[in-house]
Chain A
């Protein structure tokens, strides 16, 4: 069989707090990210993504401490992004226990960074984070700084380029749908997923299990990021997993073990 579709919890971080916005703006503090991560791990989430949405140098220490604490009792893959501008920044994040780094703004400004990180730590470590905003039917533009800054770069061209530079995965966020809970931009996900030979994580818009089903079946996502729906307890990981299985989507089946 194929690899199972991964269910990933995305935790946006500001300073020491988990936060959530709409269209990546209008941020609300939700609490201690470690507690949320631990809870999702217990519920059987497949992976965790931390994105520091401010990522100033000043606040870097709190991100590092969140990651360090998480890896003490959460034994699944952890991706960390936000403010990674160099190979040294990536190394620092990996050293505290992250498995992959997600790079967005710095890659837009200097695409060679994708190649450098991939060369140094392996493609499996290098997640290219793309913020996409729809500009016309079937056209999307790359944004950065949480959907505030436009680049004039076409999303499909950038995805292709990132792939050639050595990205191992793409985290694809629809700025239009993010935080709305009204479903994914499946057309966007599908356009990127069919274009690139590497896995695509769809992000932005999940409100119900129907949205999950759509983005897998129509959007051809390889993995699905869930944020607000979990944070606000509209859904839990079991709901998504069991309902996905019932609908014939391959997700990880939990098998009993003694641990």
Chain B
């Protein structure tokens, strides 16, 4: 027993000295410089390089409380629940909503040093016209990932979204369990805007998805689609471009296609909530996470397209890890592609219709 106590004590000592030596690794006094030494970061799951957070902690001699969400809505509900965060990484339409509801604080652009590194295409988007509140992080599209050994590329290109209703592939389909992404597919397949408020068009999209649900027996999933498609469990999947890039890098039999009927172009950006306790340090976190080194780490790890142009150039060009990987460089400037806008009434309507589809 005594021995055990000794070992435990030694262990505790080791851990505590380990911690204190760690704290001494940088000379910066964060309290003096930023007024605080802890920030709370709330990001998507699997959406950052493995060492970015720990490198930030070491460099700035601070602690990061890092938590993750599965959906914009989950993030929003947690935020409303009174949790204070210093950094959030929501998508375009959610940023629009947060701005409308006065939940964000304007960024101090003089403190953002990486602005010039950002790709032109990701700045000044309608959800935040002058990037007053947000700094883009990752961006991409939604498309069809397919197994080239089972599905003819010419057929995917010809049919676009409608291939999801080709009964030859019944039981061979993954879709995201998300009303937003599913209705986007249906509305685009029918030739409508994915931001439509027309009840007749929504009803038509509902029927389209209902038929798909009943005839194709699709599996509604979230991130597990990545592993499943790497293992080629099914032939077709509706996925985000970054997920596709990651899957294709692991399984070269897979290919990604953005249907010509149009798709969703999305942006995920870093914002600082109005009630952030440590905004000065949060600005530094943005600079750090979007620095070349961090972004290389993150983009390589998760497969999403970085907002930092030099990273995309490096990874997407010859010799880069995503060279020839069509999903890493999503289509831009195509007239039928759209960005989601925030519409609370529409969101509720689609959410309820989506439940009905799943239950029927």
Do A and B come from the same complex? no
The residues of B with any CB-CB pair to A shorter than 8 Å are none
